[in-house]
A and B are shown apart, each in its own frame.
Chain A
Amino acid sequence: MNNQISNVTFFLSWSFIGFSMLIALWQGLKMEKDILISGIRAFLQLIVTGYLLQFIFDAQSPYLTALVLLIMTVVAGRDASKRGQGLPNVFLIVTIAIGLGEIVTLGILLLIRVISFSPAEAIPLSGMILGNSMIAASIALDRLKGSMAQRKNEVEALLALGATPRQAASNALRETLRAAIIPTVDRLKTMGIVSLPGMMSGLILAGQAPTEAVKYQIIVMFMLTLTVSVTSTAIGLFTYKGYFTSYWGINEVVMTATGSSDKAKK
């Protein structure tokens, strides 16, 4: 493959969308319009992003880079916090949790000199970190809500025995963290056998030797394992308190608001 895509080739790539629309039409899916509009959206968004990134890369300003990372973190936090509706301060908590995953991971990458704090390296890697962080945060929030609802009787029995909220919620917390971390650990196991991940494929397509590309991929996978661990732990430890009152009872308002109160009752 060539590293440069000619305008003609680029234009012809619309035929992928065209054929998809034809299939939709043929099968009566009523999705032709949707496919076209989505295609146009993706096209415009990516073109704008491309020019924006080019501008940021050319500027070479660490402040601008930091600002971009901050905006990316806040957007990721906003999106993932939708899963935690009903939990107090969820947007703030999720954004901080995702931010922590980003800071710790990027910090280590900088420290061991895998990358430098240049926009061309920090921004794409942060995209990967934040994307995975966001998914881990969503899973963690979802599971925490489910576990707390399911284990409400257990939590209350433990509180009545003299447990602290942390002790009473410990099983729910453990389930939450496991659920958020397991997909990444499972991905490590099949890496290179079942899936050739995006970054490695991209590097190979861009002309890197596969032996070099895997090195990057290994580092990326290891780093993402840490990212999801940090983010989901932070989510668990920052949010479980919302389920408890100041006098260590169950906060029924939060239980109800997270859509879980009546499931737990018999």
Chain B
Amino acid sequence: MEFKLESVSLQKQEKTILSSISLEIPAGSIFILIGPSGSGKSSLLRLLNRLDAPTSGRILYKDQPIESYPVQELRKEVGMLFQHPVMINGTVRDNIALGHKLQKKDLPEEKVLELIERVGLEKDLIDKDASVLSGGQKQRVALARTLANDPKVLLLDEPTSALDPGAVVQVRETLIQQAKRGITLVWVTHDMDVASDVATGGALLVGGKIVVQGGREELFEGKNQIAQTFLKGELKENE
């Protein structure tokens, strides 16, 4: 089991964001988190690399309490992609080598090129100013930058939701390829194509609580009334 959450709750400024979440995320899975806006999906994701800490409950990563890992090591192993990729000043190369630079190490040129290829970018982009790239290219650079840390898990916080339709498909495919290399994907998405085509399992959150969780069958063919309503697109925000 990659992650195991036991009665995890999260409160922020006296507001309950997540209540009593228990969840298992198997290693090597494409685990999706779906639900209406404001249901706590992103908040849940941020607990898994300790950008946030739960108010109560326990999170295990590889059977050990998540706090027992040095936070820097954890974040290298559990990488994260955000909705809006942030490029630092400099070239594509500078961005991809950033993680190594933070550790005062160098990332060799051939490794940079390998990563560029792995995320489906053209090799001659290596010396291009990262700030002028398209949204889809930036998200791929952000992915390459995260992959440079050699992660075992990728936390994906709606990484395709701000992209134009053509780029959505490409970035999505690139992400799925990473799963084929054995990286566990925990994927917050509104994209029902991702959800129904590639997910090996997942959970539906509504109002900070898990309504359904499990494999594809439980999620998509179960009898749960709320789940069926959501999947038909009829569940309104913050319900």
Binding site for B on A (CB under 8 A): 153-154, 156-164, 167, 245, 247-250, 252-253, 256, 266
Contact = CB atoms under 8 A, between A and B. Distances in A.
Given A161-B102, A162-B99, A247 B86 contact: no
B109 interface: no
Nearest to B73: A162
A102 B90 CA distance: 39
A166 to B, nearest CB: 10
Given A248-B72, A249-B50, 10 more contacts: A153-B82, A153-B86, A161-B76, A161-B99, A161-B149, A162-B99, A163-B102, A247-B50, A248-B71, A250-B51
A266 B157 CA distance: 14
B82 A157 contact: yes
A161 B88 CA distance: 12
Given A154-B88, A156-B82, A256-B13, A161 B51 contact: no
A159 B50 CA distance: 10
Nearest to B12: A252
Interface residues of B, number: 29
B52 A161 contact: no
B119 to A, nearest CB: 16
B178 to A, nearest CB: 16
A260 B49 CA distance: 24
Given A154-B88, A156-B51, A249-B50, A162 B80 contact: no
B82 A253 contact: no
B102 A160 contact: no
Interface string B50-81: 11110000000000000100011101100110
A248 B102 CA distance: 15
Given A247-B67, A256-B13, A160 B84 contact: no
Nearest to A163: B102
Contact of B86 (A154, A250, A256): A154
Contacts of B53: 245, 247, 249
A160 B86 contact: no
Contacts of A252: 12-13
B225 interface: no
Given A154-B86, A266-B84, A161 B146 contact: yes
Contacts of A154: 86, 88
Interface in B184-237: none
A161 B86 contact: no
B103 A160 contact: no
B41 interface: no
A159 B76 CA distance: 10
A156 B82 CA distance: 9
Nearest to B72: A162
Interface string B88-130: 1000000000110011000000000000000000000000000
B51 A160 contact: yes
A199 B189 CA distance: 64
Nearest to A245: B53
B86 A159 contact: no
Contacts of B99: 161-162
B51 A167 contact: no
B145 interface: yes
Contacts of B149: 161-162
B80 A164 contact: no
Contacts of B146: 160-161
A136 B74 CA distance: 39
A110 to B, nearest CB: 40
14 contacts: A157-B85, A160-B82, A160-B146, A161-B79, A161-B102, A161-B146, A161-B149, A162-B102, A163-B102, A247-B53, A248-B50, A249-B46, A252-B13, A256-B13
A162 B75 contact: yes
Query: What 8 A-B pairs have minimum CB-CB distances, sorted nearest first?
Result: A160-B80, A157-B86, A249-B51, A154-B86, A162-B76, A162-B72, A161-B99, A162-B75
Nearest to B67: A247
B102 A158 contact: yes
B56 to A, nearest CB: 16
